[in-house]
Chain A
Amino acid sequence: MADTSPAARRTGPPGGRDHLTPEALARIGKLEVRARQVVEGVLDGLHRSPYFGQSVEFSQHREYVPGDEARHIDWKVWSKTDKYYVKLFEEDTNLRTTLLVDGSESMGYGNGPMNKADYAATLAAAIAYLLLKQQDSVGMTVFGEGVRAAVPHRGKKTHLNTLLGTLGSTAPAEKTDLGGILARTAEEQRRPGMVVLFSDLFSDRDATYRGLRMLRSRGHDVLVFHVLDDEELDFDFQGTTRFVGMEETGEVTCDPRSLKAGYLAAMEAFCEETRKRCAANMIDYQIVRTSEPFDASLSRFLNSRLGFRKSARG
């Protein structure tokens, strides 16, 4: 008889989505395994290659033969010649992706199985795994007030170990100077590439927006994973509570219910403003809850990247 207990369900075979929840992944100590688990899980769920349109370049046309995918038919050519031709591509292995991981003290907040820092590290590792698997080069910066750890860009699969080692050894600390890090990255990464930011964005807003805009002006594709805990988004505190700022931003003693509406309004305004600013600069922006399954976050990232690329190429 099959074991239907909750424990058995959590440790069931890969292929279901249960093993991609933060609770399940939190029990996997090694970050590499986590990352691979996330990526394989996501790929199992996709119906087409995630690599398409992202790291391949057009090569030439050839006449259509039965068995070719219809989606590769070049309809423009058909409209002019009334013949079916399919497009052929060759892989581009020179995409440079920079992962910016917020390692400030505020990322250490979280009451679930993973705090924001763990979640961000796991997500960053999964993306790095994915990119290295398609032979892109990946670099990474873990930051606080300044750069706390930096890994140069490499495209070898063995580079993943370096990235994971850095993520695993950097605990949350220090205040955040997000604007400075973004500006510095824009200055250092002259060659256009992709910049993926994992942060709670609790920093000087104007500086942050300036930094993001600067990255875009340098030609970078920018993805923002706005990592937030459930309690930060829902503020479900009960009873008299003294809130103490994690990055020396004061303290408040209150009945949380009396301030909840105001808090949520302020948080919502912040997220909305950030979303609008990113949209205005064609920055892909995602709010990620630390309670969300990783596959959902990663799939949303991949799908949005696909759409983004299409729209960017006209």
Chain B
Amino acid sequence: MIETLAPFFLHPGIAAAGAACAAAPIIIHLINRLRFRKVRFAAMEFLLQSEQRNRRRVLIEQLLLLLLRILLVLAAAALIARLVLDPGTLSVLRDGNVAHHVVILDDSGSMRAAGEEGDVFESAKRTLRDFAAEAARTPGSLRLSVLLLSRSEADGALFAREDVNSAFLADLAEKLDALEPTRSRLRPAAGLAAAERRLAAEQDAGERVVHLLSDFRVADWGGQIAPNAEPAPASDTGTAAGDTAAAVARLDAAGVQVNLVRLAENAPANRRVADVSFGAATAAVGVPLRVQVTVTNDADVASERLDLTASLDGQPLPLGESIPVLEPGDSVKREFDVQFDDPGRHQVTVSLPGDTLVEDDSFTRPVLALPRVPVLVVDGASDLAAATLISRLFDPDLTGREVRVGGTDLLRKEDLSEFWTIYVVNVPRLPADAVGPLTRYVENGGGLIWFGGEVDVDHYTNTLYPAGLFPVPLSGSSVELPADAGSGPDVRFAEHPVTKALTVGENLFADLLTVSRYLPVPADWERDDLARNDGVNTIATLKDGSPLALVSTLGEGRIVTVLTTAATSVADEEPEWTNWPRQPPFILFHLPAQEWAARIDTGDAVGITGEPLEFALDAARFRPDILIEQPDDISATLTATPARPENVPGEDAPPDTGMGDELLLTARYNETDLPGVYKSRLTTAEGEPVDRWTALNFPPDESRLALIAPAALTSALSGTKNVTIQEAGDSAWTGGGEQSREIRWWLLGLMAALMAAESALAYRCGYHGAGA
């Protein structure tokens, strides 16, 4: 019977019981007929007359009364059992069949955004509780799986195909109470895909419904933003939107009903510290380090008087920086200096006053402070004049650099990895056994700065250029810049961090420079960087269009190349190549160039919370044990294992370290939900500790809280048949939908009418004075 009633009632069990109760008026009537009072009566003649005259009327009235009472019971049963006339309206929640409902809880970072009634994730948990409580009214008619977006990749489920009953509700309440949203960037598409995999094997098992409980942000769905929401910034929105809509479409095509439950009505205003960067990758003790802070206003209203606070290793810094007004969608940068008293690793944190999403109101970046930053200047001339000139530019007390000057033999004798930047000045030809170490040095992140002079063109073109150490081929020995090569100054600087100080005032400093000789590149060498597209960028050109300074990369390292000399003169008898070394712009070039080209592989990094920490260690250099200290001071130990020889589908590929056939030990640390600095300690084969700090900050894509407009969401899902969208605050779907409610009102009206009719008839059946 329940199966028969199931298509029309949310609670067919109650409907069946109600149908049984319809017999109650009949039974009561029969009992009354059997339980009568016996009276010996004298005036029977008149009673018999009355009975004879009214027999038919009384019979009809009693039958009618009985019918009305039965209908009243049935109407009440239909009301409680939630009659829905159209079985199609039971698409969201229908009992009777053992339907499998999969609820996907979005526990991404954006769900932490606070609203009037707690954060969005609390709303999601509340909705899930309500849904389960409603389903538990008909135990056995529904199975429920609860997935978390954060576990969708691993196909893990909070609950898997559980019967919804009172025991389940207690278990659910306990788990939900302990559940908090992550700080990770998570995509709904991954959760929908996990649900699809979970339901794939149940095509013939009955109704399948997927409920996605999320905030439905533009960052996840793309399309037009909701009214009064923040503007959509550039992000991975397009890809995420396509993936999510495609995942919904796949479920729809597979016959799965998809119920998209919007939990956020309006996007709360949100500001964030978008970035903290340093003027140099490394800092020196006692030398001020420039800190740049970027603050972005993602809200749709301007923010006023944003006071920035900063801390160094947790100790507040006297900052005093304030942003008077930050317009919607705008970003501003502020700079301040920080100075380190002790060598070693430090962390700088910059914070904003807390708003609706406090996790993105702070940004942390680690920095390595050295006692002095070692720089090597190798000079090809025996007098080391150019090297000495350069070394004088780096005053140890002012710049924190410690410059070592010497001949090319240093490239063979010294451990190059100790230097953060190496100058090669006026070296005609590198020693043969120095090319390899220098190449590896750069590939591993070292910085290299070339200054030309009279060089062995063949060596540079055929050896250093193919190795990537030198960025351009040379067409011959130095040439003179013709005086009539063009109008204007001899040198033009392009916009680049290296030339930043030289390009102020529309190349003001360029007027001070003259270049008479330089190393030419072949005529057929493409001058246009974009057309050439070889990773080499020209940052200074001569007035005849020939390149003068270039920047390039090799492996992890950076290379700055200047095709003229750094010496005041190559030979006494020859005219000066350039007056640059004698002019102020010289120092304005060297300091930024050294900063830019300096080793960036300090072992420190910045990432986003939720992303795992990956380790790929050279087995010959490191032991497999890795000690990790989390931001909350909890420590964990990892053991790196040999990497797989080849990629396995679905598995992460071993990182490409460029180490050829060397054995790699890899490890991954996944407990990275807390923002802050994760301190990893590696141990070399010799037992020496090597620290690497990684600062994980809140993902920018989770900070963008703009919601997708309902129309845009509908448009994105056009073509789907089994998709319903629930607006924020509308919880009627947990009880069976709008149609059910409409029937409810009809039933209430019917019951009122039946009760009125029953009362009227009962009144008529009884005796009343007026009629006597």
Question: How close is B280's CB to chain A, nearest CB, in angstroms?
Answer: 103
Which residues in chain A, 209-265, are within 8 Å of chain B measured between CB atoms?
228-229, 232, 235, 237, 239-247, 249-265
B44 touches A261 (CB 8 A): no
The answer for the CA separation of A264 and B46 in the assembled complex, in Å, is: 8
Chain B 44-76 interface residues, beta-carbon cutoff 8 Å to A: 44-51, 53-54, 58, 61-62
At the interface, yes or no: A200 with Cβ under 8 Å from chain B? Answer: yes
Kindly state the separation between the CA atoms of A263 and B46 in the bound complex, as whole angstroms.
Answer: 5
A266 within 8 A of B: yes
Q: Does A106 contact B (CB under 8 A)?
A: yes
- Cβ of B54 and Cβ of A109 under 8 Å apart? no
Bound state CA distance, A202 and B35, in angstroms? 29
Query: A258, B766: Cβ atoms under 8 Å?
Result: yes
Contact partners of A249 in chain B: CB under 8 A: 44-45, 48
Task: Tell yes or no: B40 within 8 A of A by CB.
Answer: yes
Residues in B neighbouring A116, C-beta threshold 8 A: 42
Check: A296 CB closer than 8 A to any chain B CB. no
> In the assembly, what is the distance between CA of A256 and CA of B35, in Å?
14
Question: Do the beta carbons of A254 and B51 come within 8 Å of each other?
Answer: yes
A255-B765, A259-B50, A261-B772 given as contacts; is B37 within 8 A of A242 (CB)?
A: yes
Decide: A266 and B49 in contact? CB cutoff 8 A: yes
The residues of B that contact A235 with a CB separation of less than 8 Å are: 767
Evaluate contact between B48 and A240: CB separation under 8 angstroms.
no
Central interface residue in B38, B40, B62, by most chain A CB within 10 Å: B40
Residues of A within 8 A of B46 (CB): 263, 266-267, 270
Q: Do B49 and A244 touch across chains, with their CB atoms under 8 A apart?
A: no
- Flag whether B413 is at the interface (Cβ < 8 A): no
B234 contacts A by Cβ under 8 Å: no
A-B contact count (CB 8 A): 111
Task: Assess whether A245 is in contact with B44, with CB atoms less than 8 Å apart.
Answer: yes
Q: Which residues of B contact A258 (CB under 8 A)?
A: 54, 58, 61-62, 765-767
Q: Which residues of A114-153 have CB atoms within 8 Å of chain B's CB atoms? A: 116
* A interface residue count range (under 10 / 10 to 19 / 20 to 34 / 35 or more): 35 or more
Could you tell me if B44 and A240 are in contact, using CB atoms closer than 8 angstroms? no
- Is there an interface contact between B42 and A240, defined as CB atoms closer than 8 Å? no
Complex contact A240–B35 (CB within 8 A): yes
A residues less than 8 Å from B35 (CB atoms): 240
Residue B33, interface by CB 8 Å: yes
Give the distance in Å from the alpha carbon of A266 to the alpha carbon of B38 in the complex.
22
**Which positions 12-39 of chain B face chain A at CB distance < 8 Å?**
32-33, 35-39
* Contact of B45 with A202 in the complex, beta carbons under 8 Å: yes
Please name the residue on chain B nearest to A269 by beta carbon: B46
Q: Flag if A257 contacts B49 (CB, 8 Å).
A: no
Q: Could you tell me if A244 and B47 are in contact, using CB atoms closer than 8 angstroms?
A: no
Cβ of B335 to closest chain A Cβ, rounded Å:
97
Residues from chain A with Cβ under 8 Å of B33 in the complex: 240, 253
Are A241 and B36 in touch, CB under 8 angstroms? yes
Chain A residues closer than 8 Å to B51, beta-carbon distance: 252, 254, 259, 262
Q: Are A262 and B50 in contact (CB under 8 A)?
A: yes
A201 to chain B minimum Cβ distance, whole angstroms, is: 10
Cα distance A232–B48 in the bound complex, in angstroms: 13
Asked if A257 meets B50 with Cβ closer than 8 Å, knowing A242-B36, A249-B44, the reply is: no
| CB-defined contacts of B53 to chain A, threshold 8 Å | 262
Which of A237, A259, A270 sits near B58, CB closer than 8 Å?
Answer: A259
Asked if B318 is an interface residue, CB under 8 A from chain A, the answer is no
Q: How many residues of B contact A (CB 8 A)?
A: 29
| A243 x B765 contact (CB < 8 A) | no
A256 to chain B: which residues have CB within 8 Å?
A: 767
| Contacts A243-B41, A258-B61 given; does A253 touch B50 at CB 8 Å | no
Is the CB of B530 closer than 8 A to any CB of chain A?
A: no
Which residues of chain B are near A243, meaning CB under 8 Å?
Answer: 39, 41, 44, 47
Whether a CB of chain A sits under 8 angstroms from the CB of B531 is: no
CA distance A251 to B32 in the complex (A): 17
Q: How far is the CB of B205 from chain A (nearest CB, A)?
A: 55
Query: Are A263 and B47 closer than 8 Å at their CB atoms?
Result: yes
Q: Does B320 belong to the interface (CB within 8 Å)?
A: no
Min CB distance A306 to B, Å, is 32
Counting CB contacts under 8 A, is B660 at the interface? no
Closest chain-A Cβ to B609's Cβ sits at a distance in Å of: 78
CB of B378, distance to nearest CB on chain A (Å): 121
Q: Give the CA-CA distance A240 to B33 in the complex, in Å.
A: 7
Assembly CA distance A260 to B767 (angstroms): 6
**Chain A hits for B42, CB < 8 A:** 106-107, 109, 116, 200, 202, 229, 232, 245-247
- Which residue of the partner chain, among A109, A237, A260, contacts B40 with CB atoms under 8 Å? A109
Assembly CA distance A262 to B43 (angstroms): 13
Closest-by-CB residue of B relative to A116 is B42
Which chain A positions have C-beta within 8 A of B206? none
In the complex, A116 Cα to B43 Cα: how many Å? 12
Q: Looking at the assembled complex, report how far the CB atom of A180 sits from the nearest CB atom of chain B, in whole angstroms.
A: 18
Write out the residue numbers on chain A whose beta carbons fall within 8 Å of the beta carbon of B37.
Answer: 239-242
B767 lies within 8 A of A242 (CB)? no
Q: Is B38 touching A244 in the complex (CB atoms < 8 A)? A: yes
Considering the chains assembled together, what is the distance between the CA atoms of A164 and B38 in angstroms? Answer: 34
Asked if A240 contacts B765 (CB within 8 A), the reply is no
Residue from A250, A255, A264, A265 in contact with B44 in the complex, judged by beta carbons closer than 8 Å: A250
User: In the complex, which residues of chain B have a beta carbon less than 8 angstroms from the beta carbon of A228?
Assistant: 43
- Chain B residues lying within 8 Å of A264, measured Cβ to Cβ, are 772
- Nearest chain B CB to A269 CB, angstrom units: 9
Q: Does the CB pair A257–B766 fall under 8 Å?
A: yes
Q: Is the CB of A246 within 8 A of B772?
A: no
Which residues of chain B (504-524) have a CB below 8 Å from chain A? none
Alpha-carbon distance A244/B51, docked complex (angstroms)? 13
Interface residue B771 (Cβ < 8 Å from any Cβ of A): yes
B708-735, CB under 8 A of A: which get 1 and which 0? 0000000000000000000000000000
Decide if A109 touches B41 in the complex (CB within 8 Å).
yes
Measured between alpha carbons, how far is A132 from B766 in the docked complex, in Å? 50
Cα distance, A214 to B401, chains bound together (Å) = 154
> Which listed residue (A237, A239, A246, A262) contacts B49, Cβ 8 A?
A262
Known pairs A245-B41, A266-B49; list 19 more (Cβ under 8 Å).
A106-B42, A109-B41, A228-B43, A232-B43, A239-B37, A242-B36, A242-B37, A245-B40, A246-B40, A246-B42, A250-B44, A252-B44, A257-B766, A257-B767, A258-B58, A258-B61, A258-B766, A259-B58, A261-B50
Q: Which 3 A-B pairs have the closest CB atoms?
A: A262-B50, A260-B767, A266-B46
- Selected A-B contacts with CB under 8 Å, 15 pairs: A200-B42, A235-B767, A241-B39, A244-B38, A244-B40, A245-B41, A250-B44, A252-B48, A258-B54, A258-B62, A259-B47, A261-B767, A262-B49, A262-B51, A264-B772
Q: List chain B positions with a Cβ less than 8 A from chain A.
A: 32-33, 35-51, 53-54, 58, 61-62, 765-767, 771-772
